[in-house]
Amino acid sequence: MINVTLIGTGGMIPLPERFLASCLIEYNGKSILIDCGEGTQISLHKGRLSMNKIDTILITHCHADHVAGLPGLLLTIGNQGRTEPLYIIAPRGSTKYINSLLIVCGFLPYEVSIAELHDTKPQVFEQVGLKITSIPLKHHINCLGYSLELSLKPHFQPDIAKKLNIPVKFWKSLHNGNSVEVDDNIYTPDMVLGEPRKPIKISYVTDTRPVKHIKDIVMESDLFICEGMYGEDEQLDNAKEKMHMIFSEAATIAKDAHVKELWLTHFSPSMNRPEDFIGYAKNIFPNVKIGRDLMGTTLKSN
């Protein structure tokens, strides 16, 4: 079970009801924060979401509307008594910008570990039990999206285990992928497990023009969170100049990638009511929602 909450859904300038870009992924008692724009900790407070459980912060890129909330958030976490290390993962060239933000924090009672990823090819790594794939994006500076997956074990088939006379005390070990020996007989997991199961998958993409490999990496996501900086198709030239996307472009990626659900986010401050333009996306991909601060969902295994 994974909880996903949009913490901020604005781009460029925070508004009273729309803080800047951020998203919280909660799994197994820990959290991953994607981006930390201005207002992130205020929104976390409003949503009664724990800051101290944040294990990792994934940064898409080092423009201010995605990282300006870092110093305040890190200070608050320190004031809450944290001593465990916190990990920040960001595109190549980000360390100097993040370190400059850390300067204003002064002393923190925990270690902040910074790792940089390639900005031209995907990388796969694991944090808090989730497999994460970086997505190279096309923006004015090095920028990454992220796709997070929770692998699911095949269902255990007790009826088959009973027919094979495997004692119940060995079932858990078999379900965990281990072979067991009972009365000189070897039983392997494939003998009692069902078909492979599709992982739970969440993908987050913002501040980019559409590029082909976005579709390939976010393919079949249960939830695809994607920027919709501008709503109208008439804003396409503006989106190209600013290296962003319009609603219909995000919807096209969602359709081509066969995702289950699309949430639009990172709205231009000039768009007071993004919902007024949802038709531009719905005409292409019907299962779309306009993101709003503290909108959340729980993704469960079948």
Tell me the catalytic residues: 65
Residue 175 among known ligand-binding residues:
no
Q: How far apart are CA 160 and CA 199, in angstroms?
A: 24
Give the C-alpha distances (Å, rounded to integers) separating 10 from 39, 43, 155, 171: 10, 12, 41, 49
**Paired sense of beta strands 130-136 and 124-127, if any:** antiparallel
**With the CA atoms of 73, 77, 80 and 84 taken in that order, what torsion angle do they form, in degrees rounded to the nearest 10?**
180
**Paired sense of beta strands 288-290 and 86-91, if any:** unpaired
Residue 118 among known ligand-binding residues:
no
Residue 66 among known ligand-binding residues:
yes
Q: How far apart are CA 95 and CA 254, in angstroms?
A: 32
**Paired sense of beta strands 22-27 and 112-117, if any:** unpaired
Residue 140 among known ligand-binding residues:
no
First CA to last CA distance, the chain? 10
Which residues, 6+ apart, have CB-to-CB distance to 32 below 8 Å? 24, 25, 54, 55, 56, 57, 58, 127, 128, 130, 148
Residue 216 among known ligand-binding residues:
no
Residue 258 among known ligand-binding residues:
no
Q: Note whether 252 and 227 are within 8 A (CB).
A: no
Give the C-alpha distances (Å, rounded to integers) separating 270 from 138, 213, 228: 23, 30, 12
Residue 207 among known ligand-binding residues:
yes
- CA nearest 40: which of 27, 61, 24, 52? 24
**Which residues define the annotated binding site for Zn(2+)?**
61, 63, 65-66, 139, 207, 266
- Residue ranges for the known binding site are 61, 63, 65-66, 139, 207, 266
